Amino acid sequence: MGQFNTTDILAMEQRYRAAFINSLGGFKSGVLVGTVSKEGNTNLAIFNSLFHLGANPALCGLIIRPDSVARHTYENILETGSYTINHINEGIYKQAHQTSARYDREVSEFDATGLTLQYEQGVMAPFVKKSHVQFALEFAEKHELQINGTILVIGKIVKVILPDECIGADGFIDIERAGTITVSGLDSYHTTQRLSRLSYAKPGIAITEVS
Amino acid sequence: MGQFNTTDILAMEQRYRAAFINSLGGFKSGVLVGTVSKEGNTNLAIFNSLFHLGANPALCGLIIRPDSVARHTYENILETGSYTINHINEGIYKQAHQTSARYDREVSEFDATGLTLQYEQGVMAPFVKKSHVQFALEFAEKHELQINGTILVIGKIVKVILPDECIGADGFIDIERAGTITVSGLDSYHTTQRLSRLSYAKPGIAITEVS
**A196/B203 touch (CB, cutoff 8 Å), yes or no:** no
Residue B178 sits at the chain A interface (C-beta within 8 Å): no
**B171/A16 touch (CB, cutoff 8 Å), yes or no:** yes
pLDDT, position B199: 96
Mean pLDDT of B191-197: 98
Task: Please state, as a whole number, how many other Cβ atoms lie within 10 Å of the Cβ of residue A14.
Answer: 10
Q: Are B10 and A156 in contact (CB under 8 A)?
A: no
Question: Chain A: nearest CA to B38, how far in angstroms?
Answer: 24
Residue A128 sits at the chain B interface (C-beta within 8 Å): no
Mean pLDDT for all residues in chain B: 96
A79, B51, B199 from B48: Cα distances, Å:
31, 9, 28
Cβ-proximal residues to A202 (8 Å cutoff; 6+ apart), any chain: B101, B102
> Is omega for the bond preceding A66 within 30 degrees of 0, making it cis?
no
Q: Are B2 and A167 in contact (CB under 8 A)?
A: yes
**B210/A187 touch (CB, cutoff 8 Å), yes or no:** yes
Tell me: the pLDDT tens digits for A102-117?
999 889 999 999 999 9
Distance CA A18, CA A9 (A): 10
Domain count across chain B: 1
pLDDT, position A43: 97
Residue A178 sits at the chain B interface (C-beta within 8 Å): no
Distance CA B113, CA B33 (A): 14
Residue A22 lies in a domain: no
- Whether B182 shows a pLDDT value over 80: the answer reads yes
DSSP-derived letter for residue A107 is S
pLDDT, position B43: 97
Phi and psi, residue B174, nearest 5°: -85, 85
Q: Are A61 and B52 in contact (CB under 8 A)?
A: no
Q: Are B60 and B157 in contact (CB under 8 A)?
A: yes
Mean pLDDT, contiguous 10-residue spans, chain A (211 residues): 96 98 97 97 97 97 92 96 98 97 93 97 98 98 96 98 97 98 98 97 94 74
Distance CA A142, CA A186 (A): 24
- Whether B105 shows a pLDDT value over 90: the answer reads no
Residue A41 lies in a domain: yes
Residue B175 lies in a domain: yes
Residue B11 lies in a domain: no
Residue B5 lies in a domain: no
CATH of the domain at B74: 2.30.110.10
Chain B: residue nearest A50 by CA? B25
- What part of A 65-84 touches B (C-beta under 8 Å)? none
Nearest to A128, CA basis, from A163, A86, A161, A158:
A86
- Whether B36 shows a pLDDT value over 80: the answer reads yes
Residue A160 lies in a domain: yes
pLDDT, position A69: 84
pLDDT, position A159: 98
Query: Which of B169-187 are b and which e, b meaning 16 or more Cβ less than 10 Å from the residue's Cβ?
Result: ebbbbbbbebbbbbbbbbb
Residue A3 lies in a domain: no
Residue A80 lies in a domain: yes
Contacts of A102 in chain B (CB under 8 A): 202-203
Give me the domain span that covers residue B71: 24-210
SS3 readout for chain B: CEEEEHHHHHHCCHHHHHHHHHHHCCCEECEEEEEECCCCCEEEEEECCCEEEEECCEEEEEEECCCCCCHHHHHHHHHHCEEEEEECECCCHHHHHHCCCCCCCCCCHHHHHCCCEECCCCCCCCEECCCCCEEEEEEEEEEEECCCCEEEEEEEEEEEEECHHHECCCCCECCCCCCECEEECCCEEEEEEEEEEECCCECCECCCEEC
Residue B211 sits at the chain A interface (C-beta within 8 Å): no
A185: alpha, beta or left? (left if phi > 0; alpha if psi -120 to 50): left
**Residue among B15, B17, B154 whose CB faces A145 most closely:** B154
